[in-house]
Amino acid sequence: MKKVYAKEEVCVGCKLCEVYCITSHSKYKDVLKAYKLDSNRPAPRIVVEENRPLSFSLQCRHCDDAPCVKACITGAMQKDPVTGVVTCDTDKCVGCWTCVLVCGFGAIVRDTNNKIASKCDLCAEAGEPACVKNCPNEALVFSEGGI
């Protein structure tokens, strides 16, 4: 399956991947409107880790065994048996954060604004993840098998 891979050697920590992730999951789908008008703006589903001079983005690895799916008490975390993509059904999520605790990569974050778990869904409806599409240094790659 295709996944997002980070090339830390060209990441400058600009966090535009976070900005475009938020925008693509907001109700407005426009950067300015998402940031200025959306009172329930979603949390980014990708996180930039920085420890200068190194920086890279971190997002869901869509694990084969997906401990977050097994730990989810409501069934909100689901793994598509065909595509392998792990998603969170926000209508079922109760914000217990069990998935956050069991994720060994730290890729699931608490969306405290909406009180739900938030994780990368690979922008499935768009075809290409917004973070990859908008990275100015091409530090993110969407491929099947690594960089």
The pLDDT tens digits of the residues spanning 36-49 come to: 998 889 999 999 99
Cα 14 to chain centroid distance, Å, stands at: 16
Number of domains in the chain: 1
What are the contacts of 91-98 at 24+ separation with CB within 8 A?
Answer: 93/117, 98/71, 98/72, 98/73
Does the predicted model carry a pTM greater than 0.85? yes
Q: Which domain holds residue 78?
A: 3-143
At 125 the pLDDT is 82
pLDDT digits (tens, 9 = 90+) for 79-126: 999 999 999 999 999 999 999 999 999 999 999 999 999 999 999 888
Q: pLDDT for 66-83, tens place per residue? A: 999 999 999 999 999 999
Residue owning tokens 């605790």: 101
Q: Comparing C-alpha atoms, which of 63, 59, 61 is closest to residue 135?
A: 59
Closest CA to 41 of 56, 53, 31: 31
Please report, for the domain that includes residue 110, its CATH number. 3.30.70.20
Q: What is the pLDDT of residue 47?
A: 93
